[in-house]
Structure 1
């Protein structure tokens, strides 16, 4: 069983980014949708809690709509795509995203 979670933080405001749609796709051609979730008020989302095959996946964060409301400036990033390798033998992956309308960074969390 593999658990995949994420946490989105808005570094422009210093707050969690709630209401962000996050999609998980297999990166193998053709890309296959695996899961979809929306971050809660704390910016957290559970994408997978169960069987997930080893492989390469894309996490797609729909940041354009988040940064458009209220419009601080035109968002430089619409979707932020993070490609990760998943080993099904690992029990938990946590992938935080720290984002502003003009930059982002990520890491493998715990």
Structure 2
């Protein structure tokens, strides 16, 4: 069973995983951000390692580097988003939080996955 905080990105414009996107995890305390970890999405659009191995109670932010991703795919026309931040709360009583990003050029969707 997975534990911690994990993520993956699907580019629904192409219908494929978003390969090579940088993702950072921050902890938020008193409106201050502290970088905890970062990763790059693999060929399946997933960050290989948990971004946080053990869940602690608190507020977090995942930051997805969308502009860099589109530029790396040689598809940098009409870039709208530069980065996408997703803030969420965790509880120690939960052992796993999976936060996916479904991405298109002009919008995105997220949810708590499994």
TM-score normalized with structure 1 length:
0.91
- 1:67, 1:101 within 8 Å by CA — same for their partners in 2? no
Instruction: Tell me how far apart the structure 1 counterparts of residues 34 and 5 of structure 2 sit (CA, whole Å).
Output: 17
Instruction: Please list the CA deviations of residues 18-53 of structure 1 after superposition, one character each: whole Å capped at 9, or x if unmatched.
Output: 111100111223211111111111000131223x43
The aligned counterpart of 1:95 is: 99
Q: Measure, in 1, the Cα distance between the counterparts of 2:80 and 2:92.
A: 34
Task: Give yes or no for the alignment of 1:32 onto 2:66.
Answer: no
Match 2:81 to one of 70, 77, 96 = 77
1:22-61 pair list within 5 angstroms: 22-28=23-29, 29-45=31-47, 46-50=50-54, 52-61=55-64
Secondary structure of 1:66's counterpart equals helix
Q: Does 1:3 align with 2:4?
A: yes
5+ residue gaps, structure 1: none
Does 2:70 match 1:67?
yes
Report the TM-score, using the length of structure 2 for normalisation.
0.88
CA displacement 1:37-90 (0-9 Å, x = unmatched)? 11111000131223x431111100001111122125221001000001011221
- The runs of 5 or more residues in structure 2 that have no matched partner are none
More strand by share: 1
| Superposition CA RMSD, Å | 1.6
Question: How many residues matched?
Answer: 109
